[in-house]
Amino acid sequence: MAQLAEKTVVVVGGGSGIGKAVAVAAARDGAQVVLSSRSRDKLEAAAQDIPRAVVSPVDMTDPASVAAWQTTLPAIDHLVISASSAAHGRFQDLSDDALRAMFDAKFFGPYATARAALPKLRDGGSITFFSGVLSRRPGFNCSGLGAVNGAVESLAYALALELGPRLRVNCISPGMIRSDAYAGMPEDARKTMYEATGESLPVGRVGTVEEAAEATLFVMSNTYTTGLVLDIDGGHMIRQYATR
């Protein structure tokens, strides 16, 4: 991972969860890290754990915020957009508003943010998006989430072609990761969910944010890797689903 020494890495979603783990790992490897998300408080708290981290808030769903954020960026080497949103519900029940809000946060927001950062990205740099396993292995009550994940992956493929060879573009597709993304759930329900999902996976457990971060650093650092959707899912693609 020596390729990250003295590089500048921007992590959108870096205030918590996988994004923070990516920022911690990149800084440990010698990178200068810029943390971005909507919550300045979360960013400043995360920065306490990351040497030399710089905080630059942005709301990816607000064009004015994205435009202002772009002006604060230095020249950068790698852009990671891990911030996400999930809306679950049956196809016939999920509201249009919930679906549109998810696409704004997980597709249109990252699309606009990557485009805004493009002039600041140095030649030989990279963009890393985040999708999720439901794009290619759907589950019940997740049609909208699977659709937005598929859109993110298609964007990564297309940009890898369009922006190469100047930039590489990849996508991390996590399975269930033990993170504060589920902090809003009651503790017992969260524990039951982790255990049930883990039992269905070949590795026998759910993942960690550190494992997702390791994969992200790989696609950032490996200069022969582009147009890749990398599943970090404990074998979710071959898991044994329960019957209907």
Q: What domain range includes position 221?
A: 2-233
The answer to whether residue 156 is domain-embedded is yes
Going residue by residue through the chain, which has 244 residues, state the pLDDT in tens, using 9 for 90 and above: 457 999 999 999 999 999 999 999 999 999 999 999 999 999 999 999 999 999 999 999 999 999 999 999 999 999 999 977 788 888 888 899 999 999 999 999 999 999 999 999 999 999 999 999 888 888 888 888 999 999 999 999 999 999 999 999 999 999 999 988 777 788 899 899 999 999 999 999 999 999 999 999 999 999 999 999 999 999 998 887 665 5
Specify the number of domains making up the chain. Answer: 1
Would you state the pLDDT for residue 239?
83
Q: Residue 18, Cα to own-chain centre: how many angstroms?
A: 7
CA distance 161 to 103: 23
Would you state the pLDDT for residue 149?
95
The answer to whether residue 244 is domain-embedded is no
The answer to whether residue 238 is domain-embedded is no
Would you state the pLDDT for residue 2?
59
Would you state the pLDDT for residue 243?
55
Prediction pTM value: 0.94
The answer to whether residue 224 is domain-embedded is yes
The answer to whether residue 172 is domain-embedded is yes
The answer to whether residue 129 is domain-embedded is yes
Q: Residue 240, Cα to own-chain centre: how many angstroms?
A: 26
The answer to whether residue 239 is domain-embedded is no
